[in-house]
Chains A and B, each alone.
Chain A
Amino acid sequence: MKRAIRIVGMGFLLVAGFNQAAGTWRGTKAEPVLVAAQQQQMATEVKIDNFSFSPATLEIKAGSTVTWTNADDIPHTVVSNDKVFKSKVLDTDQKFSFTFDKPGTYPYFCSLHPKMTAKVVVQ
């Protein structure tokens, strides 16, 4: 349920942005067809804030790119438990992206603050 709401929300933003680029601002309602099309290569965000990853569990489709952004005053890293991906140290506002091609569950943590754990579930 939560995920469905987020997808619709994203769809709305994308449509609104598109119209803006075309020079006419219209608060267009998201079309279901467009939402389905966007879902495949939807960029997905994880925020690092208050020493935690949010969302803690992120469900995505294979082929999606996930971008982590550090919103803390303290540096963090994004490191896969199984060594699938590893960011450099991210200072405040720095980002790290990784594209998940294969389905599976990818647990990860911050190597500076290992109590910070989360996972990406790729379908």
Chain B
Amino acid sequence: MVQHTCSAALLYEGKEFAMKNETRDEIKFDHNGDGIDRRGFLKCMAWAGTGTLCVMKGGVLNSYSLSALSKLDPAAAMGELSFVQISDSHMGFNKPANPDVIGTLKAAITKINALPGNPEFLLHTGDITHLAKPEEFDNVQQILKEAKVKEAFYVPGEHDVASDEGKEYLERYGKGTKGAGWHSFDKNGVHFIGLVNVVDLKAGGLGTLGHEQLEWLEDDLKGKKSSTPIVVFAHIPLWSVYPQWGWGTEDSAQALSYLKKFGSVTVLNGHIHQTMQKIEGNVTFHTAASTAFPQPAPGTADSPGPMKVPAEQLRSALGITSVNFVRGQKALAVVDSNLSE
């Protein structure tokens, strides 16, 4: 049975985070008065699965970690629209935190293919590769071919664009996109917007969308009915997860201001290699786990570098996300769930 877990880990800013009663035991030691029990957070990390299934159902966007797929109630996976999110494959990474990123990405695809009811499409929220080398992109393309989805949509991470200003990325994924690769599309009445916040970053700053993209976004949303469910996806979180580590986007507030009139907005991000959720007004924010290696919870380490976990635990710390959408209710809410017992 699906249970809510680990949302408690998101209380560190003292803001409105979804905290479920059954997860209160995750905060046993709050040494810093910030609502994070480091041990509890690591426990949360362990269930992160290898991705997320998103199912829109009855106006509620449900996301299921696929760490324990066999426990998924098939009915829960059915909706008006379902898709999967994977992130941070870092193809080419070969350090001790995960010497086999090919293997873990393949494992994520295997889980996607085992889902009841085929997800409509796949979203990759960036850091597809580690160094943007052609052979790294080739490897990912080869592996993703095996995914039983009709389509795949991408946004770049900073690793995909740093070596060559995004040339290789755009050659492969830039068709039909604007600027550095931003784009939008509609599926089953849901409007999807892929944003790029990893190019032209300024010293001392966070992720950046930039003036040109913000103008495009404003224009893209013009004429859309406020009842249209919106799903925004981008690599770096569009909410302030932990600015000290660069986990946020400078000008996300302006982007979000364009989304205010919509009843249901879901924001899907990657970059931080761990799952998190936050609900703020009409907007629900999610970050997905990495298929490659976990990173520490905010502030729990000297730096956000790769986290080495025992080999037998690695795969349970990696993830995919799936989303299921069913129209019906006025407001869209997101429930972050996992599949553990």
Q: In the complex the two chains form, what is the Cα distance from A114 to B132 in whole Å?
A: 19
Would B246 and A113 count as touching, CB distance under 8 A? yes
Would B203 and A81 count as touching, CB distance under 8 A? yes
Q: In the complex the two chains form, what is the Cα distance from A109 to B201 in whole Å?
A: 10
Contacts of A115 in B (CB 8 A): 204-206, 243-246
Determine whether A122 belongs to the interface, using a CB cutoff of 8 Å to chain B.
no
Would B203 and A89 count as touching, CB distance under 8 A? no
Q: Interface residue count for B (Cβ, 8 Å)?
A: 25
Interface residues in B166-213 by Cβ distance below 8 A to A read 201-206
Determine whether A108 belongs to the interface, using a CB cutoff of 8 Å to chain B.
yes
Determine whether A92 belongs to the interface, using a CB cutoff of 8 Å to chain B.
yes
Determine whether A112 belongs to the interface, using a CB cutoff of 8 Å to chain B.
yes
Q: In the complex the two chains form, what is the Cα distance from A89 to B203 in whole Å?
A: 16
The 8 Å CB contact of B305, one of A50, A77, A112, is: A50
Q: Which residue of B lies closest to A49 (CB)?
A: B303
Determine whether B58 belongs to the interface, using a CB cutoff of 8 Å to chain A.
no
Determine whether B215 belongs to the interface, using a CB cutoff of 8 Å to chain A.
no
Contacts of A81 in B (CB 8 A): 203
Would A50 and B302 count as touching, CB distance under 8 A? yes
Determine whether A17 belongs to the interface, using a CB cutoff of 8 Å to chain B.
no
Would A92 and B95 count as touching, CB distance under 8 A? yes
| Shortest distance from the beta carbon of B307 to any chain A beta carbon, whole Å | 10
Determine whether B131 belongs to the interface, using a CB cutoff of 8 Å to chain A.
yes
Would A75 and B131 count as touching, CB distance under 8 A? yes
Q: Which residue of B lies closest to A116 (CB)?
A: B246
Determine whether B116 belongs to the interface, using a CB cutoff of 8 Å to chain A.
no
Determine whether A45 belongs to the interface, using a CB cutoff of 8 Å to chain B.
no
Tell whether A111 pairs with B162 under 8 Å between CB atoms, given A91-B131, A117-B203. yes
Q: In the complex the two chains form, what is the Cα distance from A72 to B114 in whole Å?
A: 36
Q: Which residue of B lies closest to A118 (CB)?
A: B203
Q: In the complex the two chains form, what is the Cα distance from A36 to B205 in whole Å?
A: 40
Q: Which residue of B lies closest to A115 (CB)?
A: B246
Would B131 and A89 count as touching, CB distance under 8 A? yes
Q: Which residue of B lies closest to A74 (CB)?
A: B305
Determine whether A73 belongs to the interface, using a CB cutoff of 8 Å to chain B.
yes
Tell whether A114 pairs with B246 under 8 Å between CB atoms, given A73-B95, A77-B162. yes
Candidate in A51, A77, A108 with the most chain B CB atoms within 10 angstroms: A51
Determine whether A63 belongs to the interface, using a CB cutoff of 8 Å to chain B.
no
Q: In the complex the two chains form, what is the Cα distance from A112 to B206 in whole Å?
A: 10
Interface residues in A77-123 by Cβ distance below 8 A to B read 77, 79, 81, 88-89, 91-92, 107-109, 111-115, 117
| Shortest distance from the beta carbon of B305 to any chain A beta carbon, whole Å | 6
Contacts of A51 in B (CB 8 A): 245, 303-305
Would A89 and B163 count as touching, CB distance under 8 A? yes
B interface vs A, CB < 8 Å? 95-97, 130-132, 158-159, 162-163, 201-206, 243-246, 302-306
14 A-B residue pairings within 8 Å (CB atoms): A50-B303, A72-B303, A72-B305, A73-B306, A77-B162, A81-B203, A92-B95, A109-B204, A111-B158, A112-B159, A114-B202, A114-B203, A115-B245, A117-B204
- Ranked nearest first, the 3 interchain pairs of A and B with the lowest CB-CB distance are A109-B203, A51-B303, A50-B303
